């Protein structure tokens, strides 16, 4: 392997919406790798709250100041996308043991599909270990406070999407 080649990581996910847990992992990845691409899955969830274009806009807004963070959307198999990008690594965040089984399945399936791409797990700051996009949407919709859990732009966009009850 060419040791001088820059290391490219892909950080895939639904990001519906981006949370501060995701932001934390992306910042860690940007320190560890030469470049990191935030790869937003287009046709994942059946009814995403945010369209893929909007999820991309949000990530671009948050990471505009980072020279080595890029944001893209992707469709189809993650390993095929990563191979097209000539990525070395897939980054995933691990919050708790409960994430482990699903993440191990994906990592090993992805390895079976393409043994050249390694999955690297990173732990977010412990402040975010309980945080998920699903909980953010639910808490917000029911009138709870999500300040500090998502970037400001996400909170503003949620306000225009969700009629709050509670």
- Estimate to the nearest angstrom the gap between the alpha carbon of 115 and the chain centroid: 22
Q: How far is the CB of 143 from ligand PNS (least distance, A)?
A: 25
104 binds ligand PNS (CB under 6 A): no
Question: 50 preceded by cis ω (within 30°)?
Answer: no
17 binds ligand PNS (CB under 6 A): no
77 binds ligand PNS (CB under 6 A): yes
Site residues (CB under 6 A) for ligand PNS, limited to 27-46: 41, 44
| Among the residue ranges 11-19, 46-54, 63-71, 117-125, the one whose residues contact ligand PNS (CB under 6 A) | 11-19
Residue carrying structure tokens 């306000």: 159
Number of residues that bind ligand PNS (CB under 6 A): 10
Indicate which single residue of 86, 104, 109, 134 sits in contact with ligand PNS (rule: CB under 6 A). 109
Which helix (H) or strand (E) covers residue 137, if one does? Answer: helix 133-141
CB crowding 111-133: b at 16 or more within 10 Å, else e: eeeeeebebeebebeeebeebeb
154 binds ligand PNS (CB under 6 A): no
83 binds ligand PNS (CB under 6 A): no
Q: Which two tokens stand for residue 29?
A: 């990845």
């Amino acid at each position: 392997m060419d040791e001088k080649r820059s290391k490219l990581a892909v950080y895939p996910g639904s990001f519906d919406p981006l949370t501060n847990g995701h932001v934390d992992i992306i910042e860690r990845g940007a320190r560890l790798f030469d470049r990191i691409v935030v790869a937003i899955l287009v046709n994942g969830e059946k009814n995403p709250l945010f369209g893929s274009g909007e999820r991309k806009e949000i990530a671009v807004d948050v990471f505009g100041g980072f020279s080595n963070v890029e944001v893209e959307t992707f469709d189809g198999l993650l390993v095929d996308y990563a191979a097209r990008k000539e990525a070395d690594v897939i980054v995933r965040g691990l919050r708790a043991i409960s994430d482990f089984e699903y993440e191990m399945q994906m990592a090993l399936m992805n390895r079976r599909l393409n043994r050249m791409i390694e999955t690297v797990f990173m732990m977010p700051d412990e402040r975010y270990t309980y945080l998920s996009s699903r909980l953010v949407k639910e808490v917000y919709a029911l009138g709870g406070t999500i300040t500090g859990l998502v970037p400001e732009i996400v909170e503003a966009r949620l306000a225009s999407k969700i009629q709050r009850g509670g």
